[in-house]
Structure 1
Amino acid sequence: MNTKLTASQAMVLAQEYKKKYSIGGVIHDDIERSVKFYSSFYRMDGPAWLVIVDITPNVFEGDDEITIVVSDEECAVDHVIDHNGISQLYHIPSNRDYSDEEFEALIDDNDEQKDLIE
């Protein structure tokens, strides 16, 4: 399979992202240990590079690592899977100050999606 990135390039992108967003932990220099390639990955178009960040010792429940998911197609970090397995998007600012109308629209959207599933 032809890829746009190498394992070492994916690792560099993850290290830069980790530094920019002050994500704790260590990405070990051993590429074989720290970087894994997948020809496809959940909710992504194309291949992905998963870069493991060691967060031991941790003081909370959950895994002792987080995963930075790098899109080969975009040559950029797509998201981070935290120690609980939840996707985080550090590069997208979160705006928690919704107007009443915006908040109600969000709730309505969620309800409509639930109705479609049921």
Structure 2
Amino acid sequence: MYSFQSFVYHSLFIDGIIYLCASDNALDIVTPSAFLKNVSDIFLKNPLMSQEHFSPSNAIAADFQQVLGKYMMKYNKNKGDSSISTLRSQVTDVKIIMTQNIDKILESEERLNSFTDRTDNLQTTVSDAHLS
């Protein structure tokens, strides 16, 4: 996995072939990995591949374009429905809320310490006034 600008590039190396895809969602690494695995499985099962393993012909490219298009549509449709993406988004939301709550608690603690200091100063002043 490699990030560049707003894209994350995912790769898979099987039997001397590198499969590569780019995604715009840095949080989800499961979907691109599954996409690459499915694409590689279909590509390697193509009967034309057994004839020309490392130099795919135009026939293979034309045949595989349709398969690749189908899988791209499938995985892009599922992008919004990904339970892992949804869960990660919810975790991020909870982290933001918890951070805000911690900040509020720290602010309250600072105010409480300030009031405690003022009370101590007032008690000292009152005690000093009674002693005089």
Q: TM (normalized to structure 1)? A: 0.18
Higher fraction of helix: 2
If each structure's strand is expressed as a fraction of its own residues, which one has the higher value?
1
The structure whose RCO (Cα within 8 Å, separation 6+) is larger is: 1
